[in-house]
Amino acid sequence: MEIESRQIRYLAAIGRHGTFVGAAKALRMSQPALSLSIQRLEDILQTTLVERGRKGAVLTAPGLILSRRSEEIDTALAAVVEEIKLLSLGISGKLRVGGTPLSTNSIIPAIIASVLAQTNDVSIEIVEAVDEDLLELLESGQLDIVISAAALSTHTDTFEFTPLFEARTVLAMRKGNPLAQHKSLSLAALKNELWAMPPGGGTFRKQVEALYTTSGLTFPKRIIQTASIATLLRIVRMSDAISFLSEQLILDELEHGLLECVEISHSLAPRIFGLLTHKDRMLSNLAKLFCKIAADQAPNFEVRPTVNNKRS
């Protein structure tokens, strides 16, 4: 006897409502029918999934593991329904791509432009988030592909990582900032400066914090934090705030003279950006096309010399 997806959804409903009666009401089925379905599921797995007591029903450890899969099932079914709807409209597929600010503001738009040059019959959703959130969305099936520099030491059994390019970090500032006269600056020399940075918790911010720690310095107190890269760039352009940014992210601003950049003597190690996919999921033809174009275009986003040649 095989497990049915509806049985897992029933189990998840019990976990949410805490009683068989409440879950049965939400599922619009009888309580005896719900109990029988869970009993059959427990017989198949040869384990207890729900602890029944006077205070209600509580999922056991195996029950919790199984119920978490209900979200993936619902996401997968919703994706199938959406693709069928799109197909009926003459659109061949849907792709959900996630990325950090660097990739969503550089390589991802370039890849999508090439995809659209080959076929317009697509629907593409782009999600921008920090590495940790992107990995969760990819694992749960809410994203098909991620382009980021996520640390993969603990995720090698779940994700496939294909390197694309290195991102070099520089100190960015507005055009005309007195600091731009220097060829190189140390962290110690910048201790009293105003900084603009992404909020704590993300991989890049943790890398910056680790740099201060290993250098024996206190993390800046004068700091403006924003998760929006567009807002961060405007703050740097319109004030004396400085920021650590990937050079690829600010190429347009550098080339148009809106920003300048300086080397940091205690530099951050280049970050390897790449394609992340789930090992247990088959990619659609649209996703495969996206990955192929990403690999072809990756050399265009490789680390390149600092644009401000006047200091070289």
The whole-number mean pLDDT for each consecutive block of 10 residues of the chain, a chain of 312 residues, reads 81 90 91 91 91 87 84 71 55 82 89 84 88 89 90 68 88 93 88 89 82 88 89 94 89 88 79 90 86 91 54 38
> pTM of the predicted model, to two decimals?
0.62
Domain coordinates in residue numbering, the chain: 5-70, 91-164+271-299, 169-269
90 Ramachandran zone, left/alpha/beta (phi>0; psi -120 to 50): left
**Domains 5-70 and 169-269 alike in fold:** no
Q: What is the pLDDT of residue 311?
A: 39
Q: Which of helix, strand or coil describes residue 300?
A: helix
Residues 4-32 as b or e (16 or more Cβ within 10 Å = b): eeebbbbbbbbbebeebebbbeebeeeee
Q: Phi/psi at 241 (nearest 5 deg)?
A: -65, 145
Q: What is the pLDDT of residue 270?
A: 78
Q: What is the pLDDT of residue 232?
A: 92
CATH code reported for the domain at 169-269:
3.40.190.290
Q: Is-contact 10 37, C-beta < 8 A? A: yes
Q: What is the pLDDT of residue 67?
A: 85
Q: Burial of 63 by CB count in 10 Å (0-12 exposed, 13-18 middle, 19+ buried)?
A: buried
For 5-70, CATH number out of 3.40.50.11860, 2.40.50.100, 1.10.10.10, 3.30.43.10 equals 1.10.10.10
Q: Is-contact 86 123, C-beta < 8 A? A: yes
Copy the structure tokens of residue 216.
Answer: 């024996």
CATH homologous superfamily, domain 91-164+271-299: Periplasmic binding protein-like II (3.40.190.10)
Q: CA nearest 187: which of 225, 223, 213, 226?
A: 213
d(CA 171, CA 309): 15
Q: For strands 145-148 and 122-128, give the pairing.
A: unpaired
